[in-house]
Every structure is written in structure tokens, then in C-alpha cells.
């Protein structure tokens, strides 16, 4: 699918804020691709589409994931919003015509990350967090600088911040989020 067509579909599926965020992740991922030597077009597609399933209701996220036979962990059962990566990759393939498995994987794992990520997976994970429309958080300026200087340090910092936030909110932490942090903590 051409970018213009993707934009028309995303505009229908997403809230205005989420649509603007998606375009922010697209160009942030493109910049990071220039910097780190990733294919810019792949980074743009993954960035643009990463949250395509985000605005589906919690109930429908579960129903659709079940209907399409996607694996659902206990943590996802409890927090179906976590499914928007997997479901987003499913739609990227089926609706947006993406066949590049590396792009689909970057979409699948953009929320939790995963141990030993590919360059594209890292770029999308980080670009999602630092894009310019993101609400300002403490440590964000530092994390943005790290994104341009040391990707692995940046990933560790994002996960540390996210885990602290989740523990404070007292919500279940996905195994994969924990495992990713353990992996990048070891350096
Ligand atoms: O979709 P975005 O908002 O752009 O960003 P995202 O896909 O990284 O999702 C962020 C949300 O996901 C945020 O509210 C924290 C939540 N999250 C990330 N890891 C976990 C998690 N929620 C739970 N319950 N467990 C996790 O391990
Ligand atoms: Fe997301
Ligand atoms: Fe996002």
C-alpha cells in the first residue's frame, strides 16, 4: 500500500492525537535510520503503522486477537492494551500489505521490546518513546540525547523508567518487558 493510502486508513482508525503521534514516530524513526544505517523506508513504514491497532476498544482487542488466533499471554489477558503490537502487526500484513518480517516484528514488539533486538526493532521501540509529540516526562531530554548517542543505553533507560512507572501504578508487568530490561541491563 502507498503511504497516502496508509494515511487515509490510519486517519479513520486512530484518534487525532494518535494519528499525529504515528507521523511523529515515522519521522523520528527515519532520522534514527539515517544515523544508524537502517533502511529509511522500512523505518518509516514501521513507525507509521506501529500503533494502527491502538484505538480498538479493550474488549475488541481481545476478541480480534482470539479470532485471528494470535497467542495471548496471561498478562495480555489482564491488560489487553498490550495486544496492540501483535494485532497491529497482523493488520500491517493483512490490510496494509506489509510482507517484510522485520517491519512486522518491530511493530509486534514495540511496547515491551524483546531481548537482543534488531536495529529496526530498537529504532521503533525508542522512536515511539521520544517522538516530539510525546508528553514531556522527567528524564525525556536525557533519553532523547541518548537515542542519538547510544541506543542500548537509551533502551535501558526507557525500560527502567517504564518499569518504575508500572510498579508505581501497580499493574502487571509483562514477562517480555522484564526480560528485555534484564538483557539490556547486562549490556
Ligand atoms: O502505544 P503508545 O502509547 O505509543 O506506547 P506503547 O506501545 O509503548 O504503550 C505504552 C503503554 O504500555 C504504557 O501505558 C505502559 C504500557 N506497558 C508497557 N509495558 C507494559 C505495559 N503495561 C503493562 N501492564 N505491562 C507491561 O509490561
Ligand atoms: Fe504502542
Ligand atoms: Fe506509539
For the segment 29-60, what is each residue's pLDDT rounded down to a tens digit?
Answer: 999 999 999 999 999 999 999 999 999 999 99
What is the tens place of the pLDDT at every residue in 142-180?
999 999 999 999 999 999 999 999 999 999 999 999 999
Residue nearest to atom 4 of ligand 1 (CA): 128
82 lines ligand 1 (CB under 6 A): yes
pTM given for the model: 0.97
DSSP-assigned states of every residue in 42-67? HHHHHHHHTTTTTTS-HHHHHHHHHH
Ligand 1: residue of 18, 53, 81 to mutate (most ligand atoms within 8 A of CB) is 81
**Ligand 1 atom nearest 81 alpha carbon:** 12
Q: Which pLDDT score, from 0 to 100, does residue 146 have?
A: 98
What does the block give as the cell for 64?
A: 480480534
110 lines ligand 1 (CB under 6 A): yes
Q: Which residues contact 151 (CB under 8 A, 6 or more apart)?
A: 36, 122, 123, 126
Q: Which parts of 42-178 are beta strand (E)?
A: none
Amino acid at each position: 500500500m502507498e503511504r497516502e493510502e496508509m494515511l487515509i486508513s490510519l486517519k479513520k482508525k486512530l484518534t487525532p492525537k494518535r494519528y499525529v503521534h504515528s507521523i511523529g514516530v515515522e519521522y523520528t524513526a527515519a532520522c534514527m535510520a539515517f544515523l544508524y544505517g537502517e533502511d529509511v523506508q522500512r523505518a518509516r513504514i514501521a513507525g507509521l503503522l506501529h500503533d494502527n491497532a491502538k484505538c480498538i476498544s479493550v474488549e475488541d482487542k481481545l476478541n480480534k486477537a482470539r479470532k485471528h488466533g494470535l497467542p495471548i499471554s496471561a498478562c495480555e489477558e489482564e491488560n489487553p492494551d498490550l495486544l496492540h503490537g501483535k494485532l497491529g502487526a497482523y493488520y500491517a500484513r493483512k490490510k496494509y500489505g506489509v510482507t517484510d518480517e522485520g517491519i512486522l516484528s518491530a511493530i509486534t514488539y514495540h511496547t515491551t521490546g524483546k531481548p537482543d533486538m534488531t536495529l529496526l526493532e530498537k529504532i521503533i521501540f525508542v522512536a515511539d518513546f521520544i517522538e516530539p509529540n510525546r508528553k514531556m516526562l522527567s528524564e525525556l531530554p536525557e533519553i532523547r540525547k541518548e537515542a542519538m548517542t547510544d541506543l542500548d543505553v537509551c533502551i535501558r533507560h526507557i525500560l527502567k523508567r517504564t518499569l518504575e512507572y508500572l510498579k508505581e501504578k501497580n499493574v502487571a508487568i509483562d514477562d517480555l518487558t522484564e526480560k528485555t530490561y534484564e538483557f539490556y541491563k547486562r549490556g
